[in-house]
Structure 1
Amino acid sequence: MPRKIAAVSGSCLLLCASAFSVTAWAQPPQASDDTDPSSLPTNAPRQFRAVRVDQPPVIDGIIDDAVWQQANVITDFHQTRPGNGTPTSERTEVYVVYDEDALYVAARMYDSNPELIAAPVIRHGQGMPSDDRLVVILDPFNTGRAGYRFETNLNAARHDSLYTSVTSFSLDWNTIWDVATSVDGESWIAEIEIPFKSIPFDPAIETWGFNFGRAIRRRGEEMAWVSQNRTYNPSVSGQMVGISGISKGVGLDLVPSLSVNRRREYDPATNETSTEPSLDAFYRITPSLNAALTINTDFSATEVDNRQVNLTRFNLFFPEKRDFFLNDSDLFQFGNIGGMASGNDATSLGSRENARPFFSRRLGLSETGAPVDINYGGRISGRVGRWNIGTLAIRQDEFGAVDASDLFVTRISANVLEDSGIGFIYTNGDPASNVDNSVVGVDFKYLNNRLASGRTVEADAWFQQSDTPGLDGDDASFGVGLRMPNATGLRGRMAYKEVQRNFNPAMGYINRADVRDLTADVGYTHFFGGDVWQTAFAGIDAQRIERLEGGLQSQALVYRLLELQTNTRDGISLSYTRNDENVLRPFTLYRDQNRQVAIQPGQYQFSESEISLNTGGQRRVSGRFNYLQGDFYNGERTNISGSVTWNQSRFFVLSANYDWNDISLPQGDFIARLTSVSTQVAFSSTLYWISLLQYDNLSEELGINTRLQWIPRAGQEGFIVLNYNMQDLDKDNTFESAFSDLTVKFRYTFRF
């Protein structure tokens, strides 16, 4: 049966945004007044030679080993903020050596006030947006398309990320490496060891993409070895040359784990105790191609999701947090679907991720979020020449009325042109039903960061089609996007996405179907270059979602009137939003035992104003405050939200968040509240106690997650995790126990 693709209709929103943005792209880029010529791209990339040593340094946070004297000292750092290519306020010295087994990086980061060094992150695996930090970026294949990011702070906390594209990375990815730090009267020092067993590489490639970054948060200062347009990433890097004779060893990691779980339900009363062994095995077929096997996969120690209050008629998006699916997750990214409108305040996370062909949270989890056993699975992923390969096969156990199922996804792409790529994806299987399903798609990504004055242009195009018995025709989805993501001056984006009525990616994510989604944004960033204010931004973000059969579904226009940030990372922002909603079927916002409040079918136009204040996270006490006031469908809404974090010391952090919505409608008034409190206690650099309490009055659930986590070294972990939920189903402020779940788990990595 021939496939029919709906024609793309124009709209005033897109035409206006296109005219504005095309004008912006047509203008020849100009260097800003504060741009140093040394920060602009040249034909000859900056390089250093890595020195091979016979004896590895001792990783103790002290640069006193003789091997460091053999290394070339890298000192030519420059500012990316607040200056651009200007001299740094403090000197930085970086040393790099390697042997057969690992890469070693040492850095001495001078600081005239070391007592003011910011280090609020106290445990491994956490992002460091407010820490004085050292950043190392590796691109072992020197493609400028992907890479690995390693960060550390004064507490020697490890944070690693996998670049899923040159401008975005997965914060939850992790691997095995080591770091030690120290501080003296004039600097802080970090020593890093990155085993070659921990990252893929091609032994025939002796030149790696390489870059360094450093942050001094109290001054709002970012610095880099190589940057372009105030940015550094795998596509904006220098080179490390002379890497040879390195080894992956046998290339085998065996990760057995054992968990003991006791789960108790209170109504009806049940108790269940289970002991579950599991095994993950990872083998390097070649230094750049990995195979993984999982048997009786155990996700019991995975962190809980942060709660969200949904005041829309569309489902929410929760990110993946399970390690097995995060490893090499960049190789399964398709079409840059989630990134086409990233940073556009008129869009929601769910609408941005809409139409993903593969979303790993659909595996091993039911529609309600309950765990589903994975009996076994395998993955082959990595790079062979210019080819990028990701293949995953999973055997999921039966649950409810759903039979056990075999699930398969493969993603292959090829590097083309200078920095671009073309690829395809195929999925087969439905983890949530007994109906067959498959999706096939092709995509193209274009990147050019060699324009005048360091400007960058990115573009994406993709097409995919699903095959589901009983759903014939109108089963495609496609999109295009164009971006100029500049950190200074004018920036803009446009994107179009169509999701047809019967498009059904059973292993992917759908937020809404039978729609065309148009997004556009344009804005301008100015750097002051003074002692107080660092940046000012203003712009317009827009999204228009139309039904394919005709008519508007949703539209949002956000006027980002003014966003100011100081050199100490404090900020204030003002915005005004205009919404248009066309509701065809009623949907419920609130219900209790006596009533429910629903939005009835109709066309609604409403607007709201918002002011936001925040302080720099490097402060001992930091926080943010948001106040929003305006219309809401056929009524009114007031929203007050905020957070406070107390960084008492490197051993204790306390955070509290509160979100309060007061909604008044002709059909009924209600208040929606979401509260969370978290604590982090570091007994040492290897033993942590983390607790999270969450409550919202829509579900009337109070959830407590507390975990004692022991990490004697990377790759070795022990957990004691308690989840305890209470409910107030009749909403009389009397909570009753719903369930408790206690897990003790140990995991150990054997490397060969």
Structure 2
Amino acid sequence: MKYMTHLIPVLLLLGVASVTAQGIDTLQGSEEQKRVEMMRTDSPPILDGVLDDAVWSQATVIDDFHQFRPLDHGEPSERTLVYLLYDDNYLYVAARMWDSEPDQIRARQMVQGENTRWDDSFSIYLDPFNNKRSGYRFQVNPNSVRGEGTFETPTRLNYNWEGIWYAEARINDEGWVAEMAVPFKTLNFDPNNPDWGFTLERTIARKQEDISWSSYNRAVNPGSAGLVTGLTGLQQGRGLDLVPSIVTTASRDFTTGISDSQTEPALDVFYNFTPSLTGVLTLNTDFSATEVDDQLINLTRFGLFFPEKRDFFLQDVDIFAFGELRRNGMPFFSRRIGLSDSGQPVDLNVGAKLTGRVGRFNVGVLGVQQDEFDQVDSSDLFVGRLAANVLRESSVGFIVTDGDPRTNLDNSLLGVDFRYRNTSLPSGHSLEGEFWYQSSDTEGVDSKEDAWGIRISSPNTEGLRGYLGYTSIEENFNPALGFVNRRDINYTEASLGYTNRPEHRWLRALTHSVTFRNYDKISGGLESRFLFIEPFEIETNSGDQFGTELTRNREVLVGAFEISAGVIIPPGDYEFDRYGIEVSGANERKLAPSFEVNAGEFYDGDRIEMSAKLDWRPNRRLYLRFEYEYNDIELPGGDFITRLIQINADVAFNVRWSWLNLLQYDNESGSAGINSRLRWNPRAGQDLYIVLNYGFSAEGAFSGLESEQSQFSVKYTQTFRF
């Protein structure tokens, strides 16, 4: 009854919004969508990066490419030919990419699955439902390093998703060649839909040039895709994947002297009930091979946000996206599951998930049984999400959650959202908007448990852009399976910017912007106010950047704020200004430095903030990164200095063997850590990990070290497809 009382006016408002948006859609301009017909083959090509298989002569050929960066729909500087084929089980794509200077092709990344952003690359984008809202990207560089992602929203790509597919690439005297095979078993699709959203992208790193077959507003995504037609008779076999794992772990707590070792199996089962609806069952789930979080120093009063990196939760993560929320107010944030408040792992006994599409509906259901820990009982957790595609690129839906993974209180939540998107406005502009409403229900709480927000934006990459939004989160709103770090607020945000892209021999873009954020307490008074002015940011044709910024802050402290150990800022109303500059070198170079400095007032004192980063890519086998963040803060309540250091040292023995190392230190926690991962990836779907995590207390930057805890793990996993 509580939910229905609040939802009736919200649903009426959603109906009005949908009708209004329908009117806008009918007035929008239309541009003919590019299309190409796919050719079927009975003889699959051999993937070797050579393109000498006779079957490619029967393929559909695409050669009408254009630049979308730096010139939108400009003429590419190099020629590209792409060949398309398919059979019952695979989509095959090959690309011949000519280059006038093949010895200058960038190919420095050789660690499988790592970032290839600064290399030459070739990508395919697939929107199997042709709904302009969801899809996949598959990318390969000249070293045959694969990278993939799934679109959480029409424009936001989640790079942490991993799917099984195959690619081989090779540099030759004329440029380079890539051959790719994407199993239909890896994709969700409608077998009755022969027309998929589809586009292609090539990056020439040294020229800072991006080329595409179909793009819009200097972007490549499902909304800007063309069409590939004629995909019929696609098969997913039995639709069953079994992914067994075996993990051996040895750990030691040096404070208590307790050591432990164990060997345990784990099993993930994937089953396609239909080609567009996938079920997942995970038993005795293990996350020992997951990347560790970056250490951060928090100089605010509000909790930090850490991204999800665990594979089980990343699969079909786009289905659960709600209202374009990325931080405060998210109804579902999977890191609430399987982790304590301090970030320590909590065992998951069993988990089940059903995700996919049924007609115009996007469906997501998640159930997890979490083991007991500390004083928290074992809990059954549930998330359900349903969204319907409406209009041309928009959606309307609801979400429900039940359970609290970190307390013994009953908790549930219900939310509805409408997401509007129109990328076909005149003059190449876009319009996006969101409206959402949520209500939580926590045991022992009877009022002030709602949250809602509305936002409209025009996210253009050239000319004028901006957004305007309003969010209200009541003081008892509690998404126990979500994320919230500021309650009892009415939040107003606005931004306006302008980007000029002149045809100039060294200047690529000149940007100006201003952003305003205001947090008023619902209970009365101001909490925070923030004004950010960027007088200019310059980007050169070689990729170097230089910018200036001015920030004006106002913070109202109702209670004392301990910003660092023993340093307390008393209650009061504080206004302070800061100024900064930022310089960064182009990342496709072997040596890429960046530096940022901000100085000025801070509450009732002063602050100097500096950050520096140096990336070194001497060759394709070695990558080193050094990052340093420094704050020198002087306050009446005391002075202190913060230091945060991160060092990455990645070694690729070849495209199958890699050794990744991360060293971290910060003086606020007085801790240092090492995460070292040796990986063998002979083919997609088969992995061996040898992982060492070692934590220290530290008196200084990697000095005065004293062991606190260690964990050594060996994990082998292999996918069996039926």
TM range (shorter): over 0.9
Deviation, structure 1 residue 42: 4.9
Does the alignment pair 1:48 with 2:25? no
The 1:319–1:103 alpha-carbon spacing in structure 2 relative to 1, beyond 3 Å, is same
Q: 1:150 matched to which residue of 2?
A: 138
Deviations 1:50-83 (A, max 9, x none): 1100010001111111111111221111111111
Deviations 1:3-50 (A, max 9, x none): 898xxxxxxxxxxxxxxxxxxxx9xx9xxxxxxxxxx98542111111
Give SS of 2:152's match: strand
Does the alignment pair 1:227 with 2:215? yes
- For residues 65-464 of structure 1, what are the structure 2 equivalents within 5 Å? 65-338=53-326, 353-464=327-438
Out of 520, 523, 527, the residue aligned to residue 549 of structure 1 is: 523
Is the contact between residue 99 and residue 246 of structure 1 (CA under 8 Å) also seen in structure 2? Answer: yes
The amino acid across from 1:107 in the alignment is A
Deviation, structure 1 residue 124: 2.2
Out of 509, 516, 521, the residue aligned to residue 535 of structure 1 is: 509
Deviations 1:263-282 (A, max 9, x none): 10111111000112100000
Deviation, structure 1 residue 119: 2.5
Out of 557, 563, 566, the residue aligned to residue 540 of structure 2 is: 566
- Give identity over the alignment, percent: 44
Out of 460, 465, 472, the residue aligned to residue 498 of structure 1 is: 472
Partners of 1:621 and 1:731 in 2: how far apart? 24
Query: Which stretch of the first structure deviates more once superposed, 40-49 or 90-99?
Result: 40-49
Deviation, structure 1 residue 733: 5.6
Does the alignment pair 1:478 with 2:452? yes
Total equivalences in the alignment = 702
Give SS of 1:694's match: strand
Q: 2:619 matched to which residue of 1?
A: 649
Partners of 1:214 and 1:734 in 2: how far apart? 49
Deviation, structure 1 residue 120: 3.1
Is the contact between residue 31 and residue 424 of structure 2 (CA under 8 Å) also seen in structure 1? Answer: no
Deviations 1:694-735 (A, max 9, x none): 000001101001010110111100000000111037999622
Deviation, structure 1 residue 128: 2.8
Is the contact between residue 613 and residue 626 of structure 2 (CA under 8 Å) also seen in structure 1? Answer: yes
Does the alignment pair 1:636 with 2:610? no
Deviations 1:396-431 (A, max 9, x none): 001111110100000000011111110000000000
Deviation, structure 1 residue 87: 0.7
The amino acid across from 2:107 in the alignment is A
Is the contact between residue 672 and residue 702 of structure 2 (CA under 8 Å) also seen in structure 1? Answer: no
Partners of 2:626 and 2:104 in 1: how far apart? 24
Partners of 1:622 and 1:331 in 2: how far apart? 37
Does the alignment pair 1:662 with 2:632? yes
Query: Which stretch of the first structure deviates more once superposed, 225-234 or 722-731?
Result: 722-731
Deviations 1:601-641 (A, max 9, x none): 11110111110111111101112111111111111111111
Partners of 2:254 and 2:241 in 1: how far apart? 41
Is the contact between residue 41 and residue 228 of structure 1 (CA under 8 Å) also seen in structure 2? Answer: no
Is the contact between residue 41 and residue 454 of structure 1 (CA under 8 Å) also seen in structure 2? Answer: no
Partners of 2:142 and 2:702 in 1: how far apart? 48
Query: Which stretch of the first structure deviates more once superposed, 741-750 or 447-456?
Result: 447-456
Partners of 1:44 and 1:628 in 2: how far apart? 48
Is the contact between residue 630 and residue 644 of structure 2 (CA under 8 Å) also seen in structure 1? Answer: yes
Partners of 1:217 and 1:489 in 2: how far apart? 25
Is the contact between residue 666 and residue 701 of structure 2 (CA under 8 Å) also seen in structure 1? Answer: no
Q: 2:484 matched to which residue of 1?
A: 510
- List, as ranges, runs of 4+ consecutive aligned residues in structure 1 with deviation greater than 6 Å: 1-5, 729-732
Query: Which stretch of the first structure deviates more once superposed, 321-330 or 166-175?
Result: 166-175
| TM-score in terms of structure 2 length | 0.95
Deviation, structure 1 residue 652: 0.7
Deviation, structure 1 residue 232: 1.8
Partners of 1:731 and 1:519 in 2: how far apart? 39
- For residues 570-649 of structure 1, what are the structure 2 equivalents within 5 Å? 570-591=544-565, 596-649=566-619
Q: 2:672 matched to which residue of 1?
A: 702
Deviation, structure 1 residue 127: 3.0
Deviations 1:553-592 (A, max 9, x none): 011100011111111111101100000000112222222x
Is the contact between residue 676 and residue 692 of structure 1 (CA under 8 Å) also seen in structure 2? Answer: yes
The 1:252–1:645 alpha-carbon spacing in structure 2 relative to 1, beyond 3 Å, is same
CA RMSD of aligned residues (A): 1.7
Query: Which stretch of the first structure deviates more once superposed, 284-293 or 79-88?
Result: 79-88
Give SS of 1:300's match: coil
Partners of 1:618 and 1:728 in 2: how far apart? 35
Is the contact between residue 586 and residue 601 of structure 1 (CA under 8 Å) also seen in structure 2? Answer: yes
Give SS of 1:90's match: coil
Query: Which consecutive residues of structure 2, in runs of 5 or more, have no partner in the other structure?
Result: 7-23
Is the contact between residue 114 and residue 186 of structure 1 (CA under 8 Å) also seen in structure 2? Answer: yes
Is the contact between residue 119 and residue 618 of structure 1 (CA under 8 Å) also seen in structure 2? Answer: no
Is the contact between residue 108 and residue 621 of structure 2 (CA under 8 Å) also seen in structure 1? Answer: no
Is the contact between residue 430 and residue 437 of structure 1 (CA under 8 Å) also seen in structure 2? Answer: yes
Partners of 1:518 and 1:125 in 2: how far apart? 39
The amino acid across from 2:392 in the alignment is E
Deviation, structure 1 residue 316: 0.2
Q: 1:688 matched to which residue of 2?
A: 658
